[in-house]
Amino acid sequence: MCSVDITYTVSKHAKERYTERIMEKATANDINKMIQYGELIYIGKQTQKDNKNYSVEVYLNGLWVVITDVKSKNVITLYKIDLGVDDEFNQEYVKRMMDKFNAAKNNLETVTLEVEHENDSYKTIIEQNTNLINEYKSYIKNLEDLNTGYKTIIDNNAVKVKMADREVTDVLNKMIGKKEF
């Protein structure tokens, strides 16, 4: 049983469907009681006829299904599960489908937990890899800086060679008495 203190508005469509299906005049209070004493079996996205996803609540009250809009608290539609046989068969069908539905929900919960655990493991690996990448980038930056320094030394060494060569030329010119004009 659902303990709902919210009064839902009932769309014209839902009232028409309720009237068609039980052949009585529906009131919003009757439908709200179906929700109040029903079981909330699903809250989530559902695609409607217009191919848009809506956030809905699905209530089950006996053989009746009531679908409401989560945001507006409006009853979108309602219908009785009727497979064209007697209510006993319909009840057995609903029971078996609820068993399957609950098993599917349990499987979803299990898979969700497994995926979360697996994702957490991968997030840890990604974080470790990112740290290594940053460390390696730091090493690369240091090596690039070292190379820049060594290139500067090489350039300075070329100047040393030119200066030594210039000294050799100057000494030679003095020795042979060559004058530069």
Work out the pLDDT band at 46, boundaries 50, 70, 90.
Answer: confident
- Residue 98 per-residue DSSP state: H
- pLDDT surpassing 90 at residue 181: no
Q: What is the pLDDT of residues 58-91, one digit of tens each?
A: 999 999 999 999 999 898 888 999 999 999 999 9
**The pLDDT of residue 180:** 65
Nearest CA-CA partner of 76 in 57, 63, 89: 57
Virtual CA dihedral for 6, 8, 9, 12, nearest 10 degrees?
-170
In sequence order, the β-bridge partners of residue 42 are 58
- pLDDT surpassing 60 at residue 25: no
Q: What is the pLDDT of residues 124-155, one digit of tens each?
A: 999 999 999 999 999 999 999 999 999 999 99
**The pLDDT of residue 3:** 52
Quote the pTM value.
Answer: 0.62
Instruction: Sort strands 9-10 and 74-80 into parallel, antiparallel or unpaired.
Output: parallel
SS3 24: coil
**In whole angstroms, how far apart are CA 176 and each of 5, 130, 162, 173, 179?**
116, 68, 21, 5, 9
- pLDDT surpassing 80 at residue 26: no
Q: How far apart are CA 125 and CA 8, in angstroms?
A: 48
**The pLDDT of residue 18:** 64
Per the model's pLDDT, the better-predicted residue between 131 and 11 turns out to be 131
